[in-house]
């Protein structure tokens, strides 16, 4: 697993963690591999695990079969279902060959009891990702329907008592999002990076070495530390 550390460090799920913590978590997660088009879970399945997308992509489908989104490497699917007992209300399916870490529901429940040193790390990452997604949802609800405001409190004793007032819709203007420029090696992994991974994969199949595969990508040798994902070998 140590060979994968540079790559794992590029994934958002492991952002900010120490090397030992990343390795500890990665070794603890069962690994799943899906072929292109293979269903991870579907609507009606019993509530179960969440999954960290390590490689490839997972498309998220609604109950009606509409594609809602695509989760790229570093993202997590099924996160909020770690806590609920109802059957799944989404279907997820692999796009291309996909590798996943599984956050098992029962294992996570045990982690919440904090019996092992790494438990706090796992629970912290899950809480952190929930916070990020919740903040995104707050913004989305406001943009989709300015008359609706996401509740700001989780543990208000009387949630029903929260007031949600409408306001003059004409006053709503979505401010342009600031564009944060990053150099290419500073970027978070995106769907575009998956294309580069595909090139590496083909290079592997063709029997090229790691350095060769970097050349294939960029035309000349690049320092490996600038692009840790290039060090990942397939298989």
**Interface with other proteins in residues 104-163 (CB under 8 A):** 111-114, 117, 119-120, 123-124, 126-128, 130-141, 143-157, 161-163
Contact call for residues 189 and 10 (beta carbons, < 8 A): yes
Whole-number Å distance between alpha carbons of 66 and 62: 5
As beta bridge partners, residue 33 has: 99
- What is the DSSP code string of 1-41? -GGGHHHHTTSGGGTT--HHHHHHHHHHSPEEEE-TT-EEE
Tell me how far apart the alpha carbons of residues 28 and 30 are, in angstroms, rounded to a whole number: 6
Shortest CB 185 distance to other proteins, Å: 21
Q: Least distance in Å: CB of 81 to other proteins?
A: 7
Residue 173 binds other proteins, judged by CB under 8 A: yes
The SS3 assignment for 53 reads strand
Residues numbered 50 to 89 that lie near other proteins (CB under 8 A) are: 60, 62-64, 66, 68-72, 75-77, 79-84, 89
Q: Which residues lie across from 53 on neighbouring strands?
A: 100
CB 54 within 8 A of CB 75: no
Place of tokens 């329907």: 145
Shortest Cβ 92–other proteins spacing (Å): 10
Residue 188 Cβ vs other proteins, minimum distance, rounded to whole Å = 11
Q: Which of 2, 3, 106, 165 binds other proteins (CB under 8 A)?
A: 165
- The contact mask relative to other proteins for 184-203 (x = CB under 8 A, - = no) is -------x------------
**What mask, x for binding other proteins by CB under 8 A, covers residues 13 to 52?**
----------------------------------------
Closest CA to 53 of 121, 16, 103, 5: 103
How many amino acids of this chain bind other proteins (CB under 8 A)?
Answer: 71
Spatial distance between the Cα atoms of 173 and 135, rounded to a whole number of angstroms: 19
* The only residue of 19, 36, 172, 221 in contact with other proteins, by rule CB under 8 A: 172
Contact 41, 105 (CB under 8 A): no
**Interacting span for other proteins (CB under 8 A) from 165-173, 195-203, 214-222, 227-235:** 165-173
Find the shortest distance in angstroms from Cβ 229 to other proteins.
18
Q: In the complex with other proteins, which residue's Cβ is closer, 7 or 51?
A: 51
Q: Which is nearer to other proteins, 66 or 220 (CB)?
A: 66
Give the shortest CB-124-to-other proteins separation in angstroms: 6
* Closest by Cα among 103, 101, 99 to 119: 103
Q: Cβ of residue 191: shortest distance to other proteins, in angstroms?
A: 8
């Amino acid at each position: 697993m140590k060979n994968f550390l540079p790559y794992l460090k590029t994934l958002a799920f492991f952002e900010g963690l120490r090397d030992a913590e990343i390795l500890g978590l990665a070794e603890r997660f069962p690994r799943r591999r899906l072929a292109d088009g293979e269903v991870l879970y579907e609507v009606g399945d019993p509530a179960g695990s969440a999954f960290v997308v390590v490689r490839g992509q997972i498309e998220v489908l609604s109950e009606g079969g509409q594609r809602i989104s695509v989760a790229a490497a570093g993202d997590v699917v099924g996160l909020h279902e770690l806590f609920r007992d109802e059957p799944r209300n989404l279907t997820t399916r692999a796009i291309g060959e996909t590798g996943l870490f599984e956050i098992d529901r029962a294992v996570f429940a045990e982690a919440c009891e904090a019996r092992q040193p790494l438990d706090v790390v796992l629970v912290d990452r899950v809480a952190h990702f929930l916070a990020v997604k919740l903040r995104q949802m707050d913004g989305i609800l406001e943009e989709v329907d300015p008359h609706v405001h996401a509740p700001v409190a989780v543990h208000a004793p009387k949630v029903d008592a929260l007031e949600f007032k409408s306001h003059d819709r004409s006053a709503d203007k979505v401010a342009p999002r600031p564009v944060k420029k990053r150099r290419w090696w500073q970027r978070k992994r995106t769907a575009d990076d998956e294309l580069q991974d595909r090139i590496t994969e083909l290079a592997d199949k063709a029997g090229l070495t790691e350095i060769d595969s970097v050349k294939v990508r960029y035309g000349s040798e690049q320092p490996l530390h600038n692009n840790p994902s290039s060090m990942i070998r397939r298989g």
